[in-house]
């Protein structure tokens, strides 16, 4: 009896339980290469080693596939961070949040996502709203909860937690964009990822420290 050539058997036939992940990985790479508008399901299927019909078994449309790519790429990372935010202090949790966010900014996943948000999602209002809630919204809500706990414990000064959350995410995102395109900001060209992270932390942590009480003024003696 002739044994099948396992080495040349299609991936999707050998490991059906891995089909969704293979499709999502292939979709991310295809979206990154061609953009959301120009990416074709035929290209994604070919890269994943499945038929186009197989994609429709899991994802009804290209837009639904994009949503799952975002959940798979960013949502899972936020899920993991939410589970790990349980340090003894809000300061510990804030450091964990910044470290995790910066790791993603430095990864190869960030540039395509950043490009989709700024160059393509405006043409897809439903996807833009989804991305705003699933990525920006969840991240801000998690960060805001950390900041509110820190203020309640006296670790951080009293401030608007929504504004403080936006300021930190904006700084991390901007530095992340510069990090991948140092020509945009030559002042960071010779700095390591660790040095850039230290700059963000030093500036932000200093800005949110509690404001010391003003010393009591001793009345001047009357002449």
Q: Residue 97: inside a domain, yes or no?
A: yes
Task: Give residue for tokens 């540039």.
Answer: 111
What rounded mean pLDDT belongs to the chain?
87
How many independent structural domains does the chain possess?
2
Residues 110-130, mean pLDDT to the nearest whole number: 91
> In the chain, what percentage of residues exceed pLDDT 70?
87
Residue pair 96/87 in contact by the 8 Å Cβ criterion: yes
pLDDT of residue 4: 43
- Please answer whether residues 47 and 30 qualify as being in contact, where contact means their C-beta atoms are separated by less than 8 angstroms: yes
Tokens linked to 136: 């920006």
Residue in 141, 75, 142 with CA at minimum distance from that of residue 113: 75
CA atoms within 13 Å, Cβ hemisphere of 34: 15
Q: Are residues 87 and 122 in the same domain?
A: yes
Same-domain status, 35 and 115:
no
Is 166 in the same domain as 95? yes
Q: Do 80 and 168 have their domain in common?
A: yes
CATH number for the domain spanning 16: value is 1.10.10.60
Q: Is 59 helix (H, G, I), strand (E, B) or coil?
A: coil
In a domain, 150, yes or no: yes
In a domain, 4, yes or no: no
**In this structure, are 102 and 129 located in the same domain?**
yes
Q: Are residues 78 and 21 in the same domain?
A: no
pLDDT tens per residue, range 88-117: 999 999 999 999 999 999 999 999 988 988
92 with 185, same domain: the answer is yes
Both tokens of residue 167? 């300021």
- The answer to whether position 214 is within a domain reads no
Q: Are residues 51 and 76 in the same domain?
A: no
User: Are 42 and 124 contained in the same domain?
Assistant: no
Average pLDDT of the residues in 207-221:
68
User: Is the same domain home to 93 and 174?
Assistant: yes
pLDDT at residue 182, rounded to an integer: 83
Highest mean pLDDT among 82-86, 125-129, 216-220: 125-129
Using the structure block, give the residue that is written with the tokens 């999502």.
24
Kindly report the CATH number assigned to the domain that includes residue 145.
Answer: 1.10.357
Mean pLDDT over residues 177-195, rounded? 87
Mean per-residue pLDDT, 129-150:
93
Instruction: Tell me whether residue 23 is in a domain.
Output: yes
Q: 73 with 167, same domain?
A: yes
Residue 23 lies in domain:
11-59
94 and 27 in a common domain: no
Is 6 within the bounds of a domain? Answer: no
């Amino acid at each position: 009896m002739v044994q099948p050539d396992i080495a040349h058997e299609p991936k999707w036939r050998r490991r059906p339980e891995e089909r969704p992940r293979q499709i999502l990985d292939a979709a991310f790479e295809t979206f990154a290469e061609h953009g959301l508008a120009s990416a074709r399901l035929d290209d994604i299927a070919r890269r994943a080693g499945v038929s186009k019909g197989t994609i429709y078994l899991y994802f009804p449309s290209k837009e639904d596939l994009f949503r799952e790519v975002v959940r798979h790429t960013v949502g899972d990372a936020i899920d993991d961070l939410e589970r790990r935010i349980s340090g003894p202090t809000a300061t510990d949790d804030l450091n964990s949040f910044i470290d995790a966010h910066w790791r993603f900014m430095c990864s190869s996943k960030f540039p395509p996502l950043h490009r989709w948000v700024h160059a393509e999602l405006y043409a897809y209002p439903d996807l833009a709203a989804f991305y705003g809630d699933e990525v920006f919204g969840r991240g801000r809500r998690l960060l805001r909860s950390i900041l509110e706990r820190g203020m309640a414990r006296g670790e951080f000064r009293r401030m608007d937690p929504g504004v403080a959350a936006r300021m930190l995410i904006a700084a991390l995102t901007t530095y992340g964009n510069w990090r991948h395109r140092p020509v945009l900001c030559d002042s960071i060209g010779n700095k390591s990822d660790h040095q850039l992270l230290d700059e963000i932390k030093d500036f932000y942590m200093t800005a949110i420290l509690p404001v010391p009480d003003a010393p009591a003024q001793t009345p001047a003696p009357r002449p």
